[in-house]
Amino acid sequence: MTQVSVDIVSDIVCPWCWLGLRYWDQARALVPEIQTETVYRPFQLDGAVPREGVPYSDYMKKKFGDGPDDRFKMMREHLEAAGPEAGIQFRFSGIPVRPNTLDAHRVIRWAQGQELGEAASERLHKAFFDEHLDIGDAAVLARLAGEVGLDAEIVSNLLATDRDRQEVLEEEQFFRRLGVQGVPCFIFNGQFAVSGAEAPEVLADAIRQAASLPQDDDDAG
């Protein structure tokens, strides 16, 4: 069976990323004859957010404004309408905190080491957008990690240290240097990228294209 390696660069507080991950799941089902290996890569939309987070509504108003041409309102309405078809629910109203996501990316990194990266990413997105949990809080992250199969106590102890903090930052910078400026970004076999939450059919075509190309031994590691 042909195998395609895909790096998905994303951030947990990016709603398009959650939608894109669901579209990716549907895309793989469209090409069952091609095996895909998915690697989740970190990206912080705003690494300057303090570790304790900031009030969500204030943050979004500052970023997008709240006038009659409120871009956030339009984006939110579009996503809330598109979400159910992808099997997800966005509940923007009531999100209390815009967190710093570095620690959440550390958890995904550890989960991926146990082949639980997809489960961790999905759980964290749902926790933030649907359940309104503070995914910058170490206790919340440890509990969610336990729900997807990691040892919650070990994760809690690791989060109290700087373990893999620098490695996550360096990995993010690697993909920024490659030219990734927005997420989600799907990088196929380290050879070409598809940016944005594209439809499953578009992603499936990209899988087929990647499978037809000569394999590159220098894929991003």
Ranges 12-16, 75-79, 184-188: which has the least confidence: 75-79
Give the predicted TM-score (pTM) of the model.
0.92
- The DSSP element (H or E) to which 34 belongs, if any, is strand 34-42
Res 44 pLDDT > 50: yes
Q: What is the pLDDT of residue 68?
A: 55
Give mean pLDDT, residues 149-155: 98
Ranges 54-68, 89-103, 106-120, 156-170: which has the least confidence: 54-68
Structure tokens at 200: 């499953």
Give me the residues paired with residue 142 across strands.
none
Closest by Cα among 42, 215, 52 to 117 = 42
Res 90 pLDDT > 60: yes
Percent of the chain's residues with pLDDT above 90: 84
Q: What is the pLDDT of residue 220?
A: 43
Give mean pLDDT, residues 44-52: 96
Top pLDDT among 134 and 65 is at: 134
**Cα 198 from Cα 181, distance rounded (Å):** 16
Name the DSSP letter for residue 86.
G
pLDDT confidence tier of residue 72, bands split at 50, 70 and 90: confident
